[in-house]
Structure 1
């Protein structure tokens, strides 16, 4: 599924080895057949593990966590000392170079999943910060993006997209595509703030929503090209869904949040949107959007609890209901998909993950 190869399990005895053992008198034919039967029975037992179409490799063992802690300590110290000696721009550049060099060993040679993800994210963030800081050392992200204020964001985003493209060509870490797309989204928004600042400020949420839908469409393109989810494309799609989810959910729901969360109509609207997102998540068999909407669903349900006069119990009741909802969806995920997917047009249904 990804080029970060998982540690191989102990291989079974090959048929050729069994035949050679019988030919050399090490085993009888009956004993060889017994070993074959035992191997088949073991494989059948392993095949009965819970089915999950969203499997992806995050860690392969505690060594991944151990190395990641070391990377955090090393890069943090490097940033501290380089910042004192060569300033912020040089600090970010040093971190970017160090992240690439460390990836040469931990990603390209060792194939360690979690360190590879962390190194890529640090690399992308460091490249973006290096270019933005070089263009405007006093840049305050999110402020003053109009006119020429957005230029550092635009250039930094484009530079980061190019840098992540080179990184992917070298290391093939699936999350790299999402990082590059995030940089392009930042550049696109920065350009709009430069060209039409007033319009961009007034339509910030729809712009983010449009970007989220575009990223979701790209994620679905990867998903639909690999319905069995057996190649690197499904890992790329997973991270793109993780990026698309907040871009879609936040602008779609945040505008409905009333002051203090006291608007019951907004609360019911948020819950209705959450149900719609749950249906989309079920159909495409991706839980990222659903997870992103949980915080808003909790806020909405809490508002309804307050309206019902149970303000003292709002936190535990909200946690109870959301926890029960997540558990019910988890338990009935495949059964719900078996109900929903056949209702879709046949040409689309066959390109989605199997609903067994």
Structure 2
């Protein structure tokens, strides 16, 4: 280890994998020097040779690489300017389908430089999002102009038959292109993006099979798909409990996608049925349950998705208690204290939750503190 590395990791407990060594393993996997399974085995060997003796480790914190330096931000600004203006100018000159196809092609070409060659984190995320969204728009708008994306997905607008076909076709083509993009560039968010467009396609299939407006079915489909995405995310998480390979990044983005799909239909349906104290208490109980799941899996995304509903529920209870004029302020204060308290006591609470799970299962979870 270099002198700089030694200073960075000075004072860390024995057995705690040094931050730069973990990044080194991820880079080694990305370049094909070692496999993901070998990287996981190396991390496990390090832990076995020097077990952690402290409970104040940062190993169980979710670390996702968004920015590797200010150059990432600088390049991202340039990408947004180039891709945005190209789309606007091409749309007026060539029409929406051709303009979207051009932006998708340009996004792929730029990814050859900034994703494949330079491995820049934030630009890679922007280029992937631009590629998939542009591909979706190109296919969908070529088939039908009736493609109002989220308004159709959420059921606020009833699409025509051509719009439904466009939605399904665009989702299928975008999903295939996302798979090709991941095979070429290995950007972790790509898997979640591909799954997201397939979710949009699933809503299109629902519209095709059951054209009548049925909000309950839409909520059920969203929650079911969310659980499926969550299961896929957990599969990646359980295969890399040390979180040293690309699989942990794949899991993070999948959890980020699964969370709103699960939380919003369930809590939204409950709050739409009424806004009294009983409903608010039920919502808060569900949010606490989500907190337990977040602690067990060491993933905060599903809890974050429920905070909006928790804030509304707290506002209802505070108003009922006679503080209607200050309901918003007090609810935000309580919510903030809850988040900060959870953050401070995260490891102790995780240990409490894991100790109540079957030991064989708890030991397979990411960073199973207190379960070893």
Offset at residue 52 of structure 1 (A): 3.6
Offset at residue 144 of structure 1 (A): 2.7
Asked if 2 retains the 8 angstrom alpha-carbon contact of 1:146 and 1:197, the reply is no
Cα RMSD for the two superposed structures? 2.0
From 65, 86, 89, the equivalent of 1:81 is: 89
1:111-190 matches, cutoff 5 A: 111-141=119-149, 142=152, 143-145=157-159, 147-190=161-204
The count of corresponding residues between Structure 1 and Structure 2 is 321
Separation of aligned partners in 2, 1:328 and 1:221? 29
Asked if 2 retains the 8 angstrom alpha-carbon contact of 1:193 and 1:201, the reply is no
From 211, 229, 236, the equivalent of 1:215 is: 229
Separation of aligned partners in 2, 1:49 and 1:340? 18
Q: Counterpart in 2 of 1:12?
A: 2
Separation of aligned partners in 2, 1:43 and 1:305? 47
Separation of aligned partners in 1, 2:118 and 2:332? 41
Structure 1 residue 334 corresponds to structure 2 residue 347: yes
From 278, 294, 299, the equivalent of 1:281 is: 294
Q: Counterpart in 2 of 1:318?
A: 331
Offset at residue 106 of structure 1 (A): 0.8
Offset at residue 258 of structure 1 (A): 4.5
Asked if 2 retains the 8 angstrom alpha-carbon contact of 1:277 and 1:289, the reply is yes
Asked if 2 retains the 8 angstrom alpha-carbon contact of 1:193 and 1:200, the reply is no
Per-residue CA deviation, residues 103-135 of structure 1 (Å, 9 max, x unaligned), is 111111111100100110111101011111011
Asked if 2 retains the 8 angstrom alpha-carbon contact of 1:192 and 1:200, the reply is no
TM-score by length of 1: 0.85
From 260, 285, 291, the equivalent of 1:272 is: 285
Per-residue CA deviation, residues 224-275 of structure 1 (Å, 9 max, x unaligned), is 111111110000000000000000000010012248x742111111101100
Distance 1:42 1:307, change over 3 A: closer
Per-residue CA deviation, residues 273-327 of structure 1 (Å, 9 max, x unaligned), is 1001000000011000011111110011011111112121112211110110001
Separation of aligned partners in 1, 2:120 and 2:204? 35
Asked if 2 retains the 8 angstrom alpha-carbon contact of 1:149 and 1:194, the reply is no
Q: Counterpart in 1 of 2:11?
A: 45
Separation of aligned partners in 1, 2:219 and 2:8? 53
Structure 1 stretches of at least 4 aligned residues deviating more than 6 Å after TM superposition: none
Per-residue CA deviation, residues 11-30 of structure 1 (Å, 9 max, x unaligned), is 627xxxxxxxxxxxxxxxxx
Separation of aligned partners in 2, 1:169 and 1:315? 47
Q: Counterpart in 2 of 1:35?
A: none
Q: Counterpart in 2 of 1:235?
A: 249
Per-residue CA deviation, residues 43-74 of structure 1 (Å, 9 max, x unaligned), is 43365874444111110111111111111111
Which structure 2 residue ranges, 5 or more long, are not aligned?
13-17, 19-55
Q: Counterpart in 1 of 2:113?
A: 105
Which structure 1 residue ranges, 5 or more long, are not aligned?
1-10, 14-37
Separation of aligned partners in 2, 1:341 and 1:49? 16
Separation of aligned partners in 1, 2:95 and 2:161? 27
TM-score by length of 2: 0.82
Larger displacement relative to structure 2 (235-244 or 43-52): 43-52
Q: Counterpart in 1 of 2:264?
A: 250
Separation of aligned partners in 1, 2:353 and 2:180? 40
Structure 1 residue 226 corresponds to structure 2 residue 240: yes
Separation of aligned partners in 1, 2:78 and 2:282? 46
Asked if 2 retains the 8 angstrom alpha-carbon contact of 1:145 and 1:194, the reply is no
